[in-house]
């Protein structure tokens, strides 16, 4: 109830309840006055474009205060404030390399050229005329989980900052295979070099086999035109692969016999391994899961809780998600909802009665190919501590006797990783 309404009520002499509430009196009603008052006045009118409730304004993407520019870097989907499996388009995580271009669809063109029989130019209308496909796929930044490289662990970590560089949408578009068939591939064609229409003219190399398999040239997200920050009017959707190869604002595809080795597949988005090698083309996103409730910086009370979280894998369907309530000693199977789709986020749930004792909870996902998430120790046995990408180790949350939830990851042996040392200006989104 706002102040004006309260004054109105007082002046009408109908404010006994409100007065009691104001003075904190003993006879306070269990019924919120506002819940019934609202029925005495007309609501708002029809409107042409809907907005969420004014009371939901704190459900926003997380933008690190440490970024030196908001034209490059990333922000995070607020995972623990969302339900279901579809990420609202306005809360899909962002990653840009030169800001979000404001593309006029009337000027939009996609050109396919290089090792093709017929170089072709498509308008947006052309793309929409062709046969369409609608599928739900996750998109995840290769730098998701980058906060996991911090050692000792960041005690202010939330589910958002742990794994919020993933989002899940229904995408509609034309299969790239159709466009390539229209242009006609020449003998020896092996690679595609897609290019974005942003200031950075972002490029990557994509092997033709993947393009012919399931890649979409997408123009719609969750039933409406793709949001500008997700690539309006047209982007690539490369199911299960790292987000950085799913080029947004797609303007050009060059067909070649060799990869380009662009900056974002050499100096970035390459993995430093524990044996000192650097791996290129680490495209597929390994299985991940994150408990979103209860999670970092939340507080719970004794009694019943539905543990909730999200799981996904770039290898296929999630087959099962397990929950540990004792710091990883024993694991129990969570239920999944909806029935898992390939390369799409699934929600997991587990009924739990908290007895008020301090404990550490964890989740780990298994996909249909038998892949699962490593522990931190297992992860760092394979990847180097100065690597920046593909961190998918199990996230632990510690619940204190006071019900407060904080990062439950262990401090690792060896040299500490400096806070902010990871992914400077890069896709980890924090520094």
Partner 1 sequence: MRRKWFYVALSALALSALVLAQGRYQIGTPLSEQEVQEWNIRPSILANGVGLPPGQGTVDEGAKVYATHCASCHGAAGEGGAFTRLVSEPFPITKEVDSVDFAIGNYWQYATTLFDYTRRAMPFATPGILSNDEVYAVVAYILYQNGVIDGSEPMNAQTLPKVQMPARALLELDPNTQKRFPWIKLP
- Give the Cα separation of 24 and 234 in Å (integer): 57
Pairing of strands 224-225, 250-256: unpaired
Chain residues 15-54 in contact with partner 1, contact rule CB under 8 A: none
- Give the Cα separation of 414 and 360 in Å (integer): 23
Element (H, E) at 308: strand 303-312
For residue 2, how many other CB atoms are within 10 A of its CB?
8
- Give the Cα separation of 244 and 142 in Å (integer): 7
User: CB-based contacts of 6: which residues, under 8 Å, 6+ apart?
Assistant: 15, 18, 22
Among 115, 226, 422, 427, binds partner 1 (CB under 8 A): 422
Going through 18-129 in order, the beta strands assigned E by DSSP cover 73-75, 94-96, 110-114, 120-122
CA proximity to 212, closest of 188, 241, 190, 230: 190
Chain residues 59-98 in contact with partner 1, contact rule CB under 8 A: 68-69, 71-72, 97-98
Among 27, 39, 413, 415, binds partner 1 (CB under 8 A): 415
Q: Which is nearer to partner 1, 37 or 182 (CB)?
A: 182
Task: Report if residue 209 touches partner 1, rule: CB under 8 A.
Answer: yes
Chain residues 164-203 in contact with partner 1, contact rule CB under 8 A: 178-179, 181-183, 190, 193, 195, 199-203
- Contact in structure between 123 and 104 (CB atoms under 8 Å): no
Chain residues 356-385 in contact with partner 1, contact rule CB under 8 A: 384-385
Closest approach of partner 1 to the CB of residue 296, in Å: 24
User: CB-based contacts of 333: which residues, under 8 Å, 6+ apart?
Assistant: 320, 321, 322, 323
Closest approach of partner 1 to the CB of residue 252, in Å: 7
Looking up tokens 């960041």 gives: 154
Closest approach of partner 1 to the CB of residue 271, in Å: 7
Looking up tokens 């909806």 gives: 338
- Contact in structure between 380 and 332 (CB atoms under 8 Å): no
For residue 182, how many other CB atoms are within 10 A of its CB?
16
Q: Which is nearer to partner 1, 179 or 325 (CB)?
A: 179
Among 100, 388, 391, 409, binds partner 1 (CB under 8 A): 388
Chain residues 278-317 in contact with partner 1, contact rule CB under 8 A: 278-284
Closest approach of partner 1 to the CB of residue 204, in Å: 10
Closest approach of partner 1 to the CB of residue 63, in Å: 18
Residue count at the site for partner 1 (CB under 8 A)? 74
CA proximity to 426, closest of 386, 376, 379: 386
Q: Which is nearer to partner 1, 264 or 322 (CB)?
A: 264
Closest approach of partner 1 to the CB of residue 302, in Å: 43
Among 130, 212, 360, 419, binds partner 1 (CB under 8 A): 130
Tokens read off for 200: 């950075």
Closest approach of partner 1 to the CB of residue 83, in Å: 34
Closest approach of partner 1 to the CB of residue 109, in Å: 7
355: left (phi over 0), alpha (psi -120 to 50) or beta: alpha
Tokens read off for 155: 């005690």
Q: Which is nearer to partner 1, 111 or 360 (CB)?
A: 111
Contact pattern from residue 245 through residue 284 relative to partner 1, giving x for each residue in contact according to CB under 8 A and a dash for the rest: ------xx-x-x-xxxxxx--xx--xxxxx-xxxxxxxxx
User: CB-based contacts of 121: which residues, under 8 Å, 6+ apart?
Assistant: 109, 110, 111
Q: Which is nearer to partner 1, 63 or 201 (CB)?
A: 201
Q: Which is nearer to partner 1, 349 or 385 (CB)?
A: 385
For residue 96, how many other CB atoms are within 10 A of its CB?
22
Q: Which is nearer to partner 1, 146 or 222 (CB)?
A: 146
Q: Which is nearer to partner 1, 210 or 227 (CB)?
A: 210
Closest approach of partner 1 to the CB of residue 392, in Å: 14
Q: Which is nearer to partner 1, 195 or 409 (CB)?
A: 195
Closest approach of partner 1 to the CB of residue 45, in Å: 43
Among 121, 306, 330, 377, binds partner 1 (CB under 8 A): 121
CA proximity to 382, closest of 276, 271, 274: 274
Chain residues 96-115 in contact with partner 1, contact rule CB under 8 A: 97-98, 109, 111-113
């Amino acid at each position: 109830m706002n102040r004006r309404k309260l004054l109105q009520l007082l002046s009408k002499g109908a404010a006994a309840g409100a007065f009691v509430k104001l003075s904190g009196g003993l006879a306070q009603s269990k019924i919120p006055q506002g819940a019934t008052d609202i029925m005495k006045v007309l609501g708002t009118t029809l409107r042409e474009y809907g907005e969420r409730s004014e009371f939901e304004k704190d459900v926003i993407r997380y933008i690190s205060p440490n970024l030196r520019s908001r034209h490059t870097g990333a922000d995070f989907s607020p995972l623990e404030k969302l339900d279901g499996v579809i990420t609202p388009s306005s809360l899909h995580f962002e990653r840009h390399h030169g800001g979000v271009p404001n593309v006029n669809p009337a000027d939009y063109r996609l050109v396919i050229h290089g090792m093709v029989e017929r170089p072709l130019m498509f308008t947006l209308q052309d793309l929409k005329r062709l046969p369409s496909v609608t599928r739900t796929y996750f998109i995840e930044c290769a730098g998701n989980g980058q906060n996991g490289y911090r050692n000792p662990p960041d005690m202010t970590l939330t589910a958002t900052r742990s794994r919020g560089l993933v989002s899940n949408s229904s995408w509609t578009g034309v299969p790239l295979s159709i466009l390539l068939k229209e242009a006609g591939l020449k003998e020896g064609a092996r690679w595609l070099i897609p290019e974005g229409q942003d200031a950075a003219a972002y490029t990557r190399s994509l092997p033709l086999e993947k393009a012919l398999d399931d890649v979409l040239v997408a123009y719609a997200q969750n039933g409406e035109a793709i949001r500008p920050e997700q690539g309006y009017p047209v982007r690539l959707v490369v199911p299960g692969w790292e987000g950085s190869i799913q080029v947004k604002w797609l303007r050009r595809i060059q067909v070649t016999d060799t990869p380009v080795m662009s900056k974002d597949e050499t100096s970035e988005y390459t993995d430093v391994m524990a044996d000192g090698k650097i791996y290129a083309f680490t495209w597929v996103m390994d299985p991940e899961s994150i408990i979103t409730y209860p999670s970092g910086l939340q507080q719970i009370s004794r009694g019943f809780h539905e543990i909730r979280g999200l799981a996904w894998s770039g290898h296929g369907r999630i087959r099962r998600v397990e929950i540990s309530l004792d710091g990883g000693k024993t694991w129990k199977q969570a239920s999944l909802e909806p029935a898992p789709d390939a390369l799409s986020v699934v929600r997991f749930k587990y009924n739990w009665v908290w007895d008020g004792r301090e404990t550490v909870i964890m989740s780990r996902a298994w996909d249909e190919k038998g892949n699962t998430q490593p522990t931190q120790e297992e992860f760092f046995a394979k990847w180097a501590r100065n690597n920046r990408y593909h961190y998918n180790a199990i996230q632990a949350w510690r619940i204190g006797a006071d019900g407060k939830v904080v990062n439950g990851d262990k401090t690792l042996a060896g040299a500490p990783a400096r806070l902010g040392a990871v992914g400077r200006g890069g896709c980890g989104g924090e520094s």
